């Protein structure tokens, strides 16, 4: 498995990552607290139109200096992490983890954790005090970020909330 920077021309390969997942519980935010409730989804892959909606946003991020990294298993893209250059958080001192995903067949190998740690290192090098994460509200996703030191932000980013209103917004402040 090779971790390397992605070229702009490789960004569209993120949609080749196997997105299959069973989601059994979702978080909602009520009064600043995470509330878990049962909700079942059998996610067969990327939603229709997702690539068309998000590819231009990822390319814009790359063009303004965002950093994209992927784990490659030969020619197969197993997972991707990306750090954007737009400052987020109440102090405008956090950089957004704009994408992090590991393919279904590669989960459980700590690739997500390694991508997250790599993105933290990149954000530090870019002068950030931490990472800002807008996470899908699935139990597995939110708990993954919480295990890595993320906490629910007290000051959600209005732009990201408008883009993904159900997401749970988190911060990971560097120690």
Per-residue pLDDT of the chain (175 residues; tens, 9 = 90+): 999 999 999 999 999 999 999 999 999 999 889 999 999 999 999 999 999 999 999 999 999 999 999 999 999 999 999 999 999 999 999 999 999 999 999 999 999 999 999 999 999 999 999 999 999 999 999 999 999 999 999 999 999 999 999 999 999 999 8
- The domain spanning residue 47 has which CATH number? 3.40.630.30
Domain count, the chain: 1
Distance CA 140, CA 35 (A): 14
Give the chain's radius of gyration (CA, Å). 15
Domain range for 168: 2-173
What local confidence, expressed as pLDDT, does residue 30 receive? 92
The CA-based angle 96-101-102, given to 5 degrees, is 150
Please give the model's pTM, rounded to 2 decimal places: 0.94
Residue 92 φ then ψ, to 5°? 50, 45
Report the C-alpha gap between 69 and 81 in whole angstroms: 5
pLDDT at position 22: 96
């Amino acid at each position: 498995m090779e971790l390397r920077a992605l070229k702009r021309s490789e960004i569209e390969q993120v949609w080749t990552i196997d997105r299959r997942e069973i989601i059994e519980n979702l978080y909602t935010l009520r009064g600043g607290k995470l509330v878990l409730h049962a909700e079942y989804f059998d996610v067969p892959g990327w939603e229709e139109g997702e690539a068309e909606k998000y590819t231009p946003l990822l390319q814009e991020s790359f063009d303004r200096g965002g950093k994209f990294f992927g784990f490659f298993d030969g020619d197969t893209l197993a997972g991707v992490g990306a750090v954007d250059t737009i400052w987020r958080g109440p102090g405008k001192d956090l950089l957004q983890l704009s994408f992090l995903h590991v393919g279904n067949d590669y989960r459980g190998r700590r690739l997500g954790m390694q991508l997250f740690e790599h993105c933290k290192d990149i954000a530090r090098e870019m002068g950030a005090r931490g990472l800002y994460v807008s996470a899908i509200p699935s139990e597995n996703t939110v708990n993954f970020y919480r295990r890595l030191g993320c906490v629910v932000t007290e000051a959600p980013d209005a732009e990201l909330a408008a883009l993904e209103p159900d997401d749970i917004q988190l911060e990971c402040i560097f120690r």
